[in-house]
Amino acid sequence: MASKRDYYEVLGISRESASDDIKKAFRQLALQYHPDRNPGDKGAEERFKEINEAYSVLSDPEKRQQYDRFGHAGPAGQGFGGFGDFSGFGVEDIINDFFGGMFGGGGGRSRRGADLRYNLTITFEEAAFGAEKEIVVPRTGTCRDCSGTGARKGTRPERCGACHGQGQVTMQQGFFSIRRTCNRCGGTGQIVKDPCGSCSGTGRIRESRTLKVKIPPGVDSGTRLKLRGEGEAGPAGSASGDLYVALTVKEHPFFFREGSDLFCEVPITFPQAALGTTIEVPTLGGKKNLTIPPGTPSGHDFVMRGEGVAGLNTGRRGNLVIRVLIEVPRKLTKRQKELLAEYQELSEESPGPISRSFFEKVKEIFG
């Protein structure tokens, strides 16, 4: 059985594409491969299913996050659920867009406000332990004077007579019944005859909103947090869009991270490695003792369990992996040189197991 193609490849977009770019790519491809435009073409039908499946995942921020992390094996990639779920953009919208030029309008129905994206940079520690940040978001908000209706205070909008308050009118084109946005009311289903002076009848105003964002422990660069209803206000008092806070985590000067595990490198001296010692090492929770046993080689990894970062979904902390590197001094005193020379002589008389094995193999191969 052929493996599934990458969803971003299916839609012909990059992994950094915004939601509007995803929707635009989907609309173009769905119109091109829609079965009604390609009757009897099984290839187009399969392509249309593939496009719809990709869009159903990438258009949903939570599913997209799971897909970006786990691919098709993740919760968002478990398979195609049918033609019905287009996340608010269905087949009818595609057909409306296709035939929109004939009737002077696009696929129409009153929709909620647009989603917004806010880029937020946080520290390594804030990502590890969680934090609460305050942000200021410029957006289009609901006019307080008219409560979003667009009508002057004390008055109310009237129902549109052209669409009878539905916001859409139906046109018959052959065997298609095509719904399009009502030109008279713009899809709101209402007519404002006495507009509000504060918003000029739009029901919306520009504002800056201060929000507190709770950052859970375990987030990483690329994590997006969804704040429902904090996007742009919808037309005519309809629902607002959502705000997506895209996180970027600053690099740490000492640790680097892979998932929930942390890694670092710590220098030790040759005597410490040879004789053994106890050293202090930094962790996210403060300094802790690490025992170096005698004969520790350079590059050896020590694992401190539970000293990593909490998993975003599990809450279980990963490990801290400390790699010790033997530091070779660049400058030696006369006395240090004498002692090392004496040590070298003794080492040649009684080489270690690694040296013995090496020279035995050289002798065996080269004679």
173 domain residue, yes or no: no
Q: What is the pLDDT of residues 291-331, one digit of tens each?
A: 999 999 999 999 999 999 998 888 899 999 999 999 988 88
Q: Name the more confident of 258 and 61.
A: 258
Q: What is the pLDDT of residues 132-187, one digit of tens each?
A: 999 999 998 989 888 888 889 889 889 888 888 888 888 766 555 677 888 888 77
**Which among 89, 104, 134 is the end of a domain?**
89
Q: Could you tell me the residue range of the domain that residue 311 belongs to?
A: 256-362
Q: What is the CATH number of the domain that holds 321?
A: 2.60.260.20
Q: What SS3 state is found at 146?
A: coil
196 domain residue, yes or no: no
- Distance separating alpha carbons of residues 21 and 32, to the nearest angstrom: 17
Question: What is the number of structural domains in the chain?
Answer: 2
The contacts of residue 265 (CB under 8 Å, 6+ apart) are 322, 323, 324, 325
Which tokens go with 353? Answer: 């197991």
Mean pLDDT of the chain: 82
Q: How far is CA 206 from CA 66, 143, 195, 212, 242, in A?
A: 34, 9, 17, 20, 16
DSSP state, residue 351: -
Q: Residue 304 pairs with which residues in a beta bridge?
A: 320
- Distance separating alpha carbons of residues 292 and 287, to the nearest angstrom: 16
Q: Name the more confident of 101 and 173.
A: 173
Handedness of CA 249, 251, 254, 257 (dihedral sign): positive
Q: How far is CA 100 from CA 36, 77, 94, 103, 104, in A?
A: 16, 33, 10, 6, 6
Q: What is the CATH number of the domain that holds 29?
A: 1.10.287.110
Q: Name the more confident of 2 and 260.
A: 260
pTM (two decimals): 0.58
- Distance separating alpha carbons of residues 149 and 68, to the nearest angstrom: 40
Give the up-direction half-sphere exposure of residue 337: CA atoms within 13 A in the CB hemisphere.
5
Helices (H), the chain: 7-11, 19-33, 42-58, 61-70, 91-103, 124-129, 270-275, 334-349, 353-366
How many residues comprise the chain?
Answer: 367
**Which among 35, 54, 89 is the end of a domain?**
89
Return the pLDDT at 117: 94
263 domain residue, yes or no: yes
- Distance separating alpha carbons of residues 317 and 279, to the nearest angstrom: 23
State the Cα angle at 326 between 321 and 332, rounded to 5°: 155
213 domain residue, yes or no: no
- Distance separating alpha carbons of residues 159 and 37, to the nearest angstrom: 36
277 domain residue, yes or no: yes
220 domain residue, yes or no: no
235 domain residue, yes or no: no
Q: What is the pLDDT of residues 8-46, one digit of tens each?
A: 999 999 988 888 889 889 888 988 888 777 878 888 888
**Which among 89, 107, 142 is the end of a domain?**
89
Q: What is the dihedral of CA 168, 172, 173, 176, to 10 degrees?
A: 80
Q: Determine which of 51-65, 100-114, 244-258 has the lowest per-residue pLDDT on average.
A: 100-114
224 domain residue, yes or no: no
Give the up-direction half-sphere exposure of residue 98: CA atoms within 13 A in the CB hemisphere.
21
Q: Determine which of 98-107, 176-185, 204-213 has the lowest per-residue pLDDT on average.
A: 98-107
